[in-house]
Structure 1
Amino acid sequence: MPDNFEIAYPWVFFLVPLPLLIYFFLPALRIKSASLFLPVFNKALDYTRQKPRKSALVKRRNFLVWLGLFLCWVLLLVAISSPQLVGKPEMKVKTSRNFLIAADISFSMAQSDWTINGKKARRWDAVKQVMHEFIKKRKGDRMGLIFFASNAYIQAPFTPDLQVVDQMLEEADVGMAGQLTYIGKAITKGVEMFERDTIKTKVMLLLTDGVDAGSDILPLDAADLAKRDTVRIYTIGIGDPGKAGVDLDERTLQEIARVTNGQYFRAKDKARLEEIYTELDTLEPIEYVEEQNKPITLLYYYPLGAAIGVLLVMMVILTIVNFIKLFNQRKELYV
Structure 2
Amino acid sequence: MQDWFSKYWFLPSTLSSFDWANPFYLYSLPLIPILFLLRDWLRNNSTQKLNVAFPANEIQSNWISFLRFVPGFFLMFTTALIILALARPQRAISEDDQFGEGIDIMLAMDISKSMDNKDIPPSRLTVAKNVANQFIKGRKQDRIGLVIFSGVPNSLCPLTTDYEMLKDYIDDISSSHINVSGTAVGNALGMCINRLREIDSKSKVAILISDGDNTAGNLDPVTSAQLAKAFSVRVYTIAVGSEKTTTDKVDEGTLREIAKISEGKFFRARDARSLENIFKEINRLEKGEIKQNQYRNVQDFYHPYLRWAIVFFLISFALKSTFMGNILED
TM-score between both structures, scaled by the size of structure 1: 0.69
The within-5 A match list for 1:1-335 is 6-9=19-22, 69-115=75-121, 121-177=122-178, 178-214=180-216, 216-285=218-287, 287-291=289-293, 293-301=295-303, 303-304=305-306, 307=309, 322=324
Q: Counterpart of 1:136 in structure 2: which amino acid?
A: K
Could you tell me how far 1:240 is from its partner in structure 2? 2.0
Q: Counterpart of 2:235 in structure 1: which amino acid?
A: I
- CA distance 1:104–1:67, change in 2 (3 Å): same
Identity across aligned pairs (percent)? 28
Answer whether contact 1:93 1:286 (CA < 8 A) is retained: no
- CA distance 1:302–1:113, change in 2 (3 Å): farther
Answer whether contact 2:32 2:80 (CA < 8 A) is retained: no
Higher relative contact order, chain-length normalized (CA < 8 Å, sep 6+):
2
Answer whether contact 2:68 2:326 (CA < 8 A) is retained: no
Alignment partners' CA distance in 2, 1:224 and 1:261: 10
RMSD, aligned α-carbons: 3.9
What SS does the aligned partner of 2:273 have?
A: helix
- CA distance 1:270–1:312, change in 2 (3 Å): farther
What SS does the aligned partner of 1:279 have?
A: helix
What SS does the aligned partner of 1:293 have?
A: strand
Superposed CA offset, 1:11-48 (max 9, x none): 7669878996xx99xxx9xxxxxxxxxxxxxxxxxxxx
Could you tell me how far 1:278 is from its partner in structure 2? 2.6
Could you tell me how far 1:286 is from its partner in structure 2? 5.7
Superposed CA offset, 1:169-225 (max 9, x none): 222211433221121111111111012433332121111111122473222221121
Answer whether contact 1:84 1:296 (CA < 8 A) is retained: yes
Aligned residues: 285
Answer whether contact 2:19 2:91 (CA < 8 A) is retained: yes
Answer whether contact 2:145 2:159 (CA < 8 A) is retained: yes
Q: Of the two, which has the highest radius of gyration?
A: 1
Alignment partners' CA distance in 1, 2:209 and 2:185: 9
Alignment partners' CA distance in 2, 1:321 and 1:253: 100
Unmatched tracts of structure 1, length 5 or more: 29-60, 116-120, 330-335
Alignment partners' CA distance in 1, 2:221 and 2:265: 15
Unmatched tracts of structure 2, length 5 or more: 1-12, 44-66
Q: Counterpart of 2:251 in structure 1: which amino acid?
A: D
What SS does the aligned partner of 2:201 have?
A: coil
What SS does the aligned partner of 2:295 have?
A: coil
Answer whether contact 2:21 2:90 (CA < 8 A) is retained: yes
